[in-house]
Amino acid sequence: MTREIYVRRLETLLKKLPPEKRWGITEDINMHFIEGNAAGKSDAALAEGLGAPESLARAYMLEFAADRATRDASVGNVMRMIWAALGVGLVNVIIALPVWLAVVAVWLSLLAAGVSAAVGGVVAAFFSLIDWFVPLPFVNAPMHITAISGGAAIASLGGLTVIGTMYLGKWLLKLLARYLQANRTIIAKRG
């Protein structure tokens, strides 16, 4: 494969990257070919040494997604990084993806429990407070202060659970970004 065909193919595969990033990569690859030609190597040998343009493009896409997810660990950036990593290695699909899906399921369960406790506590305190002034037939709370305090306590614990779960989620996103970055490094060393 000639340098022009290789670089053109790589540039096409990297079309989702920002133009300046894509230009920098293609310039590096062009320089690799120029230096290799100066050392007496053919374009075909240099292209074979780089590997298939598809593999190289996937590695660059993963690197870009990893850098962006590390700088800003938002759900969207981490999801883009996950998809880039899935394109690079089957091991992520077989082993890592189910583990991370289980972690996300536990995190969502904790979040749902916190929201439920917060809402339940607010509702209990509210109806106990209303019953104090206007007796409601479905509320049987002879000790209104205790019922209001208990509802407020449950709502507070639920709110703290939600806050803690949000911090846990942010930490998990950063951990996932690090895992995928380590994965990218392993793949780069292998290629």
Domain boundaries, the chain: 3-75, 90-190
Decide if pLDDT at 47 tops 90: no
- pTM of this prediction? 0.53
Give the Å distances, CA to CA, from 156 to 112, 145, 147: 15, 16, 14
Q: Contact 52/1 with Cβ under 8 angstroms?
A: no
For residue range 94-141, list pLDDT tens digits in order. 777 788 888 889 999 999 999 999 999 999 888 888 877 777 776 665
